[in-house]
Structure 1
């Protein structure tokens, strides 16, 4: 009792002394007529709480109207981006990364002309295999995307601060190095940062204590910058503001807009299903439903149609299933009327009904289902394909879309007969005389007898006639030109009518595919093992030696964790100091520092990158690599059947053109081009 009263008295004395100190004359406001009355203090405090609430809400961006306008970049950044655009237009086959690296290293006012001169004289020194794929050059204009352009200093600062807040287990230099590799793009650098952070000792400790798992970049809803806030009485995704308008807009477009679009689609589907259920319940209560003649289910008036002959009532679900089965299944011949593009009546009760569901009703039914527009587009393509095939005209097709047109070599009213090239007659006569006077006359007689015997076979004559006709067509096509430009406004690409590949001047059939494959493999292998200096943006790869690297600009970094070890004079102290033989890359059992001789198993990384690139190429080309193409990937020179000349098996390349026995097509092409006009 005594202790409680004593403690209570002392606590009251402490509180009174604190109040007295807080209301000392030096801190008390002077009385004035403008001072607020005690009765207004609650509203004053509530206004403060409202301001605090608004500030807390402004930390997250829910709607696009909350985004700050993007400020105009500085003049030097604008000039650099203009130089990037000009260099991309001059050298469309070189990646923008090369231009960005060279513009960052040169400080001359006329750097554009200097870089152009260097790339024209000695491109291999600066390009180092970083070239664009041929198909990419054809698909898009030579331009610089937003992710490839130079970033403003404010944007770089905001991205760096954002990465430092999220990945506290990584050093600043490691984060700077990864950001430099991705041109200071937070979304592109985050997968690498997540991978490095999961290997750090801080994450290892926290994962053991708190059972944490690294959040991958593909998990948008679980992204640390994404939160769900109440907006208009409903939960809406929001992104945390970074203070930079450009970065906020980029994060909002990449993280929030896909979530909002998906949420909108889900809400529309649920609202439509709910409205349809209410409408169906009301119609059933009034006995105003209609029975489908195909599935015998009841449907409301808005969800049913009828054929134009006997008036069979068919619900939209049966129409949707019939169209889907006809386009993607086995019901094309049975269900679709090709001449009118309508659906035959699917009623079960009358199999002899000649009625059809009109195209307008088909569109109404298909627009009510998911992916209905895509199914209608496939239906139109198949109907157009049927119309082209039924016409019997020779067609030229675009390999990149469904566009086709009549071959301009089709001239039924003006068929020019084939004529022998008169200038070749003396040469042919001299050749035959020389052969008859030579010991090869017996061989020529034997070949003539064999040809005569084979000519008696009708199938052989037909085969030779088809090959010869095809050779004449190929010859006429080459005379006219192999370039075909698609007239479809959505495509507009140029292709080769011989190999169906994208047209590139000067075009060689099938060569573009091999060049694209080689460039794609080289690019994937270089991107898998490259590092970028965060100071001068120079790309480099360690071929041998230790993991302490020094850039020509003086920047020193660790090749394993990308940490700056030159600013703090850390040097070799950054690496494990325990005794180990030189070149030993095994992990240390006594500390967790980086190993001076640790290697990334470059061969395995390169093999994986090469295999992934070849797999993507096979999926695009829909075929496997031949032995010559595999040899082309290895040494840039295709072998014959995978056999090299250094072993003495390449004798065919010296005896026959192309180093192989000519095929029937090649023989026919040679005869047509040499003797026929």
Structure 2
């Protein structure tokens, strides 16, 4: 239904465009003139071409990716793209979803999506670089990579681009690593006197060309690739950081020069003012005054005082927490009780490079002080300083607590409590008398009431849910109120980090040994045999260097002629000492590669969690089985093998008795 509607709409647009072309051809020259007017080298965002609308079939495929990412949030987008290439017809979305529901493991093959390290959930489920690319974008990316990495074969470049979904910026790191190992690239670099390609430098990128402005300065420009989408990605990654850094440096130098000239003119006119804190002289524009005795304080002293208060030991002495202002730092015989107004504080701090961040930290500390002083229960975001009042309450329709008698255990427990009530009342009375005699501050009855109140809060917490969403506009991350970890769908406390670790290990091991066919984008791994691989689509490639070894004729890189032809025993993986060709039987020691990938993933996880793996966690990584945390208070108490504490007993009573 949706596909037919899109096709119908596309047909209507095609008919409409034809009618416009037949009746209004006068508008075409202006459009052609506008496209020709765009420069070949892009120096500003205004020089970028507008993005062309996606074709209907490509838009439909990307919409299907969004739908599958919502239904299967734990599966990588690469799996969806591969499955769409395997299915055809108008019902591909339904076929792919049905296949994943029936046999997800065989399709995913360990390519599970790991939870974000920062827990951020505001981003789109399908990033732009994971979507289907247009043929024009793919061709532009391949042409760009061919031009930069001339020492690598085109088939190798195509294979690496296919592994990265033709994202040039993501594939460039792998291409740089391959080019550094290529003897052809080394020889060409020596003859052409070309520097080795680096993955981090933006100033020396082949596409970045520095051009003169005609005013004694040079600006970075981007050589157009011919594709508007790729030009915009490269501009954002290469040119924009350079221009923003140059603009910031230029503004800082201009400000310093303006201050220097202003001070020189004020000194000539004898108009300098002395600071009451550091006793240096400066112009009137660089001063503020306290609201008590009018002490003149320079902006430098205001900046130093606020920075010391926020990051040092001057918080109690320098900040008035009731008004959120800076106490007067003037050096006087008697301590001044005045303060620096907030607007003057902001003006002084904003003249510093990171003054806005320091003011933000100051506001956070003031807000935190106010929340703590209110003595209200708080919920804090584990990823930032945001906090809000814990507003746990009973819903309007459920203000009355209802008993639960739907099973034998509950009924027996209720009858036991009723029968034991006189005994409990006598014990409470006896403990109160003993506490009064012993002059105790808290009786057993008070402790019991406090325990039941805490148990009621725990019960309401469980009924409300454990998902907490931060309302900080710069954060907006979801976390768990119980384990304080990042919230993901199907969240299980105390197990989510292990699941994320196992997913990261499987993903790292898969990425270490897999290859991708650049023709049909099928992922595969060699388990045995020689290094001449043939894809089901007919594409032939070398497993070692990823080069295309298909085709016909007597070329040196066609078929088995691509590999070393010197005599060696079959299956000998050693490197040939007489030539530099790939070994037909060379093996990269899959076990060693997988072991290193696993150790690297575990090392990164342990650095993030700041702890070591326990024996049970290592067993979970090997078997995939972990004990599910019990959600019933009765099971939790009984499994501990000891008498329950008073809070645990109160939780157990409320769980068994109340609905």
Q: Mark yes or no: TM-score above 0.5.
A: yes
Other-structure match for 1:385 = 368
Q: Is residue 231 of structure 2 the alignment partner of residue 248 of structure 1?
A: yes
Determine if contact 1:394/1:410 at 8 Å carries over to the other structure: no
Query: Larger deviation: 630-639 or 103-112?
Result: 630-639
Q: How does 1:428-443 map to 2 (within 5 A)?
A: none
Equivalent residue for 1:571, pick from 542, 559, 569 = 559
Determine if contact 2:533/2:542 at 8 Å carries over to the other structure: yes
Offset, 1:262? 0.7
Name the CA distance, whole Å, in 2 between partners of 1:367 and 1:86: 45
Deviations 1:21-69 (A, max 9, x none): xxxxxxxxxxxxxxxxxxxxxxxxxxxxxxxxxx999442222233233
Q: Is residue 573 of structure 2 the alignment partner of residue 585 of structure 1?
A: yes
| 2:353 match: secondary structure | coil
Q: How does 1:537-556 map to 2 (within 5 A)?
A: 537-556=521-540
Determine if contact 2:40/2:223 at 8 Å carries over to the other structure: yes
Equivalent residue for 2:111, pick from 130, 145, 148 = 130
Determine if contact 1:92/1:142 at 8 Å carries over to the other structure: no
For residues 81 and 311 of structure 1, do their structure 2 counterparts lie closer, same or farther at Cα, with a shift above 3 Å needed? same
Other-structure match for 2:623 = 635
Query: Larger deviation: 186-195 or 538-547?
Result: 538-547
Other-structure match for 2:32 = none
Offset, 1:145? 2.5
Determine if contact 2:62/2:131 at 8 Å carries over to the other structure: yes
Equivalent residue for 1:69, pick from 50, 56, 59 = 50
Deviations 1:138-179 (A, max 9, x none): 604654322112222122122211211221211111111011
Offset, 1:244? 2.3
Query: Larger deviation: 368-377 or 286-295?
Result: 286-295
Name the CA distance, whole Å, in 2 between partners of 1:479 and 1:81: 38
Other-structure match for 2:602 = 614
Q: Which runs of 5+ in 2 are unaligned?
A: 1-35, 405-409, 421-433, 629-634
The TM-score with structure 1 as length reference comes to 0.77
Offset, 1:241? 1.8
Name the CA distance, whole Å, in 2 between partners of 1:410 and 1:83: 41
Offset, 1:476? 4.5
Other-structure match for 2:17 = none
Determine if contact 1:475/1:673 at 8 Å carries over to the other structure: no
Q: CA RMSD in A?
A: 3.7
Name the CA distance, whole Å, in 2 between partners of 1:410 and 1:332: 36
Other-structure match for 2:586 = 598
Other-structure match for 2:69 = 88
Determine if contact 1:77/1:152 at 8 Å carries over to the other structure: yes
Name the CA distance, whole Å, in 1 between partners of 2:441 and 2:509: 52
Query: Larger deviation: 315-324 or 613-622?
Result: 613-622
Other-structure match for 1:116 = 97
Offset, 1:521? 2.4
Q: How does 1:138-287 map to 2 (within 5 A)?
A: 139-140=121-122, 143-206=125-188, 213-231=195-213, 233=215, 234-287=217-270
For residues 283 and 213 of structure 1, do their structure 2 counterparts lie closer, same or farther at Cα, with a shift above 3 Å needed? same
Determine if contact 2:120/2:476 at 8 Å carries over to the other structure: no
For residues 138 and 295 of structure 1, do their structure 2 counterparts lie closer, same or farther at Cα, with a shift above 3 Å needed? closer
For residues 430 and 613 of structure 1, do their structure 2 counterparts lie closer, same or farther at Cα, with a shift above 3 Å needed? farther
Other-structure match for 1:20 = none
Offset, 1:578? 2.1
Offset, 1:93? 2.6
Name the CA distance, whole Å, in 1 between partners of 2:573 and 2:121: 45
Query: Larger deviation: 184-193 or 468-477?
Result: 468-477
Q: How does 1:318-397 map to 2 (within 5 A)?
A: 318-350=301-333, 352-397=335-380
Other-structure match for 1:672 = 651
Offset, 1:489? 4.9
For residues 208 and 340 of structure 1, do their structure 2 counterparts lie closer, same or farther at Cα, with a shift above 3 Å needed? same
Deviations 1:298-343 (A, max 9, x none): 1111111121112222111111111111111221112111111111
Runs of 4+ in 1 over 6 A off after TM superposition: 415-422, 428-431, 458-462, 464-469, 656-660, 663-667
Other-structure match for 1:303 = 286
Offset, 1:492? 4.5
Deviations 1:351-401 (A, max 9, x none): 511111121111111100011111111111100100011111122223334
